[in-house]
Structure 1
Amino acid sequence: MTSLSHDRHCSEIVAQIDLLRAAIDGADLTVPVPSCPGWSVGQLLRHLGGGQRWAEEVVRTRAEGPLSDEHFRDLSAYTHEDPAVVGPWLAEGAERLAETLREAGPDAELWTPVTGGTTAFYARRFTHETVIHRADATLALGAKFTLDHEVAADALDEWMELGSLPFHFEVHPWMRELLAPNRTIHLHATDAAPAAAAEWVVDLTGEQITWRRAHEKATVAMRGPLVDLLLVTYKRLTPSEAGIEILGDAELLDFWLERVSFG
């Protein structure tokens, strides 16, 4: 389920990079990124741009298996980046990725890290990969991060979908410890309209993690602005840093945020 079209995702990849370039203009890119330990802002930017180029190659070649991603995993060479250099490089990669995704269309079959993958996976995934890493850089540089509500809601939907895939139990067996009776988590955005479109329930009471868009009483509720809910869910801010209101079993919320690893 996605609330944004393929074309909108393609456009957002470019738009988010444009916003990121504005945020880093004249900035010191050696500043560390608290939400990405061990990386400076410059290294973060090279990781993001390298990932976009990797995705572009996967889509362009209709890859039938994973391609090497070493070029955006080893960041040791990027400790002193210049915004005047890395900014245009980011823009070029984003434009190229968006163009390749548009040419392929949303339904082209190719390898993805999840089953049943098509081009649409990469359009959506790299929209929100770009969004969250823009948040990483923006917050590291001491600026306020803002985001369109439609994009933020789609980012939370995607996080819920990917974060609840059963294969996580194989990769991260400790996630099974989340499952137990009477464990539900409600995310309620207080600044988005219509209200029904900005609420999520995570259900940990069955044999798998499930989620739904709903307004329901839960074991614990997290209430606050939509973008802050997104940043807390992605572990970019703590609930206290974001000023999020917690109602109910706060320990369950902490446990969930600790054990669910995605992004």
Structure 2
Amino acid sequence: MTERLDFATLLRLIDERSAAFLRAVAAAPDVDVPVPSCPEWTLFDLVQHLGTGQRWWAAVVAAGPAEGPPAKDTAAAPREREALTAWYAESNELLMSALREVGPERGCWTWWSAGVSPANAWAVARRRVHEVLVHTYDAQLAAGAAEPMPSDIAIDGVAEFLDTCNSTPAAWPHEPAAVHYHATEGRSWLLALDGTGAWPAPLPPAAAPPSVSATGTAEELLLFVWGRRTPSDLEVQGDRRVFERLIAWEPEE
């Protein structure tokens, strides 16, 4: 694992980003405006998606170690804006309460347990920080303009995505590759892709030349790995096909 924010900081960030998310929802013309970064979604769809996720992960954390996740609540969120934002605030508090009650080391089911992120409440909190961070960006776009992300959170967001989403023992189906990510704020990461899987790590000073590298601000890199930017939005050197293959890859473990 490449980064470690403490649990209290993660809980604070979930609340702070959720507050920013709700401000964006309140600033939008209405909840039926399209979300440019989430094709075919309206702002209502975005709020429902994020709120349902907060409720589901609250149930996952509360259930503790399990072979599989609890069923998702499929009840629709209210469509009127004031009721919708109250519903999201309640959803967020359900997650926060569950996380506070169990503490960071409580084990639970996760979909990323085969990778380097731990299957516990700390990793759930970290994942939800960045889920809310990116969807706040989406909501701000729908409301008119996105605000700059806090760079320290975006830095952890790049590392978290690599740890959680690009970490697997499933064999990479192409020739081995090394991917470097360089944030202009001074942080860099390595993603190794080979027959043993995909494994992220901090970039060592004497690392071998990569197959491909991407350089940008931490926010730009975070939006890239989350699918809101393309390689053309970054400074890319090396074989761009590696990025194309990585984006298209759906590993089976």
TM-score range, shorter chain: 0.7 to 0.9
Q: Is 1:244 matched up with 2:246?
A: no
**Kept in 1: contact 2:158–2:218 (CA 8 A):** no
8 Å CA contact 1:224–1:244 kept in 2: the answer is: yes
TM norm structure 1: 0.81
Q: How many residues matched?
A: 241
Amino acid at match of 2:156: D
Identical aligned residues as a percent: 31
Contact 2:172 2:193 in 1 (8 A): no
Q: Does residue 208 of the first structure (1) align with residue 197 of the second (2)?
A: yes
The letter for the 1-side match of 2:234 is I
Equivalent residue letter for 2:245: F
Match of 1:253 among 232, 243, 249: 243
- The residue identity in structure 2 corresponding to 1:233 is V
User: 149-158 or 31-40, which moves further after superposition?
Assistant: 31-40
Give 1:260 deviation, angstroms.
5.9
Residue 219 of structure 1 is matched in structure 2 by 211
Change (3 A) 1:260 1:143: farther
Give the match for residue 11 of structure 2.
Answer: 10
Question: In the alignment, what sits opposite 1:172?
Answer: none
Q: Which amino acid aligns with 1:249?
A: D
Equivalent positions of 1:32-71 (< 5 A) are 32-62=34-64, 64=66, 65-71=68-74
TM alignment of 1:180-219, pairs within 5 A: 180-181=175-176, 183-190=177-184, 192=185, 195=186, 198-214=187-203, 216=207, 217-219=209-211
1:120 aligns with 2:110: no
- Residue 164 of structure 1 aligns with an amino acid whose one-letter code is N
State the 1:254 CA deviation: 2.6
Separation in 2 of the partners of 1:71 and 1:54? 10
Amino acid paired to 1:30: D
Pick which of 214-223 and 125-134 moved more: 214-223
Q: Structure 1 pair 109/219, CA: closer, same or farther in 2 (3 Å)?
A: closer
Deviating more after overlay: 12-21 vs 145-154: 145-154
Deviations 1:80-109 (A, max 9, x none): 934322222222222332132122111123
Backbone CA RMSD of aligned residues: 2.5
Q: Structure 2 regions of 5+ residues with no counterpart?
A: none
Q: Which structure has more helix as a fraction of its residues?
A: 1
Q: Matched residues in 2 for 1:185 and 1:63: separation? A: 34
Match of 1:89 in 2: 87
Whole-angstrom distance in 1 between the partners of 2:168 and 2:92: 31
- Check 1:143–1:260 CA distance in 2 against 1; reply closer, same or farther (3 A cut): farther
Where 1:209 maps in the other structure, the secondary structure is: strand
Q: Distance in 1 between matches of 2:108 and 2:237?
A: 43
Contact 2:138/2:146 (CA < 8 Å) preserved in 1?
Answer: no
- What is the distance in 1 between the residues matched to 2:211 and 2:168? 23
Give the unaligned 5+ runs of structure 1. Answer: 170-174
How far apart, CA to CA, are the structure 2 residues paired with 1:231 and 1:260? 19
Distance across 2 between alignment mates of 1:107 and 1:252 = 36
Distance 2:213 2:131 in 1: 26
Q: 1:67: how far off? A: 0.7
